[in-house]
Structure 1
Amino acid sequence: MKHFFYLHWQDASQALRKMLRQPLGSLLNLLMLAVAMSLPVSLYLTAGSVQHWVGKLTAAPQITLFMELSAEQADIAAVQSSLTSHPKVASFRFIGRDQALRDLEQRSGLSGVSQGLEGNPLPDAFVVTPKPAVTPDELDMLQKELSGLPMVEQSQFDAAWARRLHGLLDIAVKLAWFLAASFGVALVLITHNTIRMQILARQEEIEVAKLIGATDSFIRRPFLYHAFWVGALSTLCCWGLSTLFVHQAAPAINEFAGLYGENIHLAGLALPELGVLFGCSVLLCLLGARLAADHHLRKVRPH
């Protein structure tokens, strides 16, 4: 057992020393992988912070139902009953005519404006908040449905911003998946090509090793450890780049959020997230190395 661990330690240390003997080439390769990795990571960090910010916003898509001036208490009760039982309505608030006029006076600073009027020109209204899971298309349908309630004269709802927000979030999610998938494929291909070149450069050495009875797993092991170090070190480089991104982008994002009276905290990768990134990178590199090694070892035959 000690001999088994010693062989693995020896292969791992030799693979690392070979990378260190070519510092410039190894550094450029690691930086290339780290930059490619930092793109989906940076998008993930930004999207996570923005989603947290959006989750704290009190503003939500709302539909305002204006009743007819001739609406009676029975009509208001019927609308309340319909809104209470509607499956897509999260909550609603009733604003009476008198309250609406008082709110108008307070907002405009024209106290006593109602004294110059023959009557209250404002209608009763319901402010309806749909459930968060309702999509923009469903919001349009909900508005049309609520407009048909008894004695509802008009409904008001600006769905444009909700549709834009939904579209941006959808694009961000698709872009994140695309970048992650592209990075995964690129990491496998780059590692595959690197290991293939190493195997071709050591083809005679591999043939001699096979002549003296070396197994494929013994020959493959140094290349797998090389791939392990590539995945591990590129992840650390990506962590540094993402930390630099957070440090540089946080002030600009906070300044933008300040225009809306909010504060966005752009945080770096947490330890669990870094662990997942580390594991995925190493596994993808090992996959590329294993595919390259198995493919070429089948072709290498001792003379």
Structure 2
Amino acid sequence: MSAWFAQHRAALAAALRRLWSTPLNTLLSLLVIGIALTLPGFGYVALDNLRDLGNSATGVQQISLFMNLDASRKDVGEIENRLRQAATGKWHFVPKEEALKRMQASEGMAEIVASLPRNPLPDAFVIEPTNGEPEALEILRKEIAGWPKVAHVQLDSAWVKRFDAFLRLARLALWMLAAIFAAGLVAVTFNTIRLQVMAQAAEIEVARMIGATDAFIRRPFYYYGALQGALGGLLAAGLVFAALHLLGEPVGNLAALYGSSFALREPGPVEVAALAALGAFLGWIGAQLSVSLSLRKFD
């Protein structure tokens, strides 16, 4: 086992030396890989922020339950019990007196409200469901509509469905873009490793003559491709952070104009590690394909 670890340490050290020995070529390759991973990475973060923005928009995932005008406190208590048992999510009660005060405080409504013979507004509940999927919201709306003393249940399901359909389409487009750039990353690594194999053709011939196995010869190239891909992934994460930092203030100012405090969410450590791991995996695939084809010339 110690010999196995020693071989892998030696292969890793050889890969690092090769990266360091040609800094300009390494930098250019990392830039290509980083840009290839930045676009899908930034697209993923942008969609994630867009979903958060949609979830935080007022009323987008809220269900408004309006009671009958003749509903009593007992009827309101019955609805509260049903909401607790259903465990639908967060909710709060809006008494009709409070709704009337809000209406009276609105500009130009004070005189109109004062002229009314009685309060025309019903008691209401505002529900924020835990499950924001359009199908789940529609099922919940129909269930609540069947409860006693419920006059009307309002849900802007059409808006929610359109927004969800847009996110699905954008996610599909992102996967297609990611697949295209992943193929490009594999091609870049393939070509880089092929040049490495050609440059060390004499060393490979000598190594085979003294009994080196194919695994021993291939291993440094595999590490080279994986390291190059991982470093490119980390560079891509840095570019995504830089882009979000530049967009943070303009997006915050735009949100403030609409009375919101929305801020862009940056990728976490797990997402950065996933991007680096993806780069390493694609680099390893490119190295494996390149080495397998290139070493056939030495058979």
Q: Please state which band the TM-score falls in when normalised by the shorter chain.
A: 0.7 to 0.9
Name the structure 2 match of 1:91: 91
What amino acid maps onto 2:135 in structure 1? D
Q: Matches of residues 18-33 of structure 1 in structure 2 within 5 Å?
A: 18-20=21-23, 23=24, 26-33=26-33
Tell me which moved more, 106-115 or 140-149: 106-115
Matched, 1:105 2:104: yes
The 3-state SS of whatever aligns with 1:154 is strand
CA change 1:201–1:107 in 2 (3 A) is: same
Name the structure 2 match of 1:252: 250
Whole-Å Cα distance in 2 between the matches of residues 56 and 177 of structure 1? 25
Whole-Å Cα distance in 1 between the matches of residues 261 and 73 of structure 2? 44
The 3-state SS of whatever aligns with 1:155 is strand
**Structure 1 residue 269: Cα displacement:** 5.3
Name the structure 2 match of 1:138: 136
**Structure 1 residue 108: Cα displacement:** 4.1
CA change 1:149–1:246 in 2 (3 A) is: closer
RMSD of aligned alpha carbons: 3.9
Matched, 1:220 2:218: yes
CA contact (8 A) 2:252 2:261 kept: yes
Whole-Å Cα distance in 2 between the matches of residues 222 and 30 of structure 1? 18
Q: Matches of residues 176-191 of structure 1 in structure 2 within 5 Å?
A: 176-191=174-189
What amino acid maps onto 1:152 in structure 2? V
Name the structure 2 match of 1:43: 43
What amino acid maps onto 1:36 in structure 2? A
Tell me which moved more, 288-297 or 252-261: 288-297
The 3-state SS of whatever aligns with 1:206 is helix
**Structure 1 residue 167: Cα displacement:** 3.4
Larger Rg over CA atoms: 1
CA change 1:33–1:86 in 2 (3 A) is: same
CA change 1:190–1:131 in 2 (3 A) is: same
CA change 1:123–1:246 in 2 (3 A) is: closer
CA change 1:260–1:193 in 2 (3 A) is: same
CA change 1:259–1:112 in 2 (3 A) is: closer
| TM-superposition CA deviations, 1:138-160 (whole Å, max 9, x none) | 32333334334334333333223
Whole-Å Cα distance in 1 between the matches of residues 13 and 70 of structure 2? 89
CA change 1:300–1:261 in 2 (3 A) is: same
Whole-Å Cα distance in 1 between the matches of residues 16 and 115 of structure 2? 90
Whole-Å Cα distance in 2 between the matches of residues 136 and 146 of structure 1? 15
- Aligned mate of 2:14, from 11, 16, 19: 11
What amino acid maps onto 1:104 in structure 2? M
**Structure 1 residue 184: Cα displacement:** 4.1
Whole-Å Cα distance in 2 between the matches of residues 34 and 222 of structure 1? 22
Whole-Å Cα distance in 2 between the matches of residues 241 and 128 of structure 1? 41
Whole-Å Cα distance in 1 between the matches of residues 181 and 154 of structure 2? 45
Name the structure 2 match of 1:206: 204
Q: Matches of residues 38-77 of structure 1 in structure 2 within 5 Å?
A: 38-49=38-49, 61-71=61-71, 75-76=75-76
Matched, 1:155 2:121: no
Q: Using structure 2 for the length normalisation, give the TM-score.
A: 0.75
Any stretches of 5+ residues in structure 1 without a counterpart? none
CA contact (8 A) 1:257 1:264 kept: yes
Any stretches of 5+ residues in structure 2 without a counterpart? none
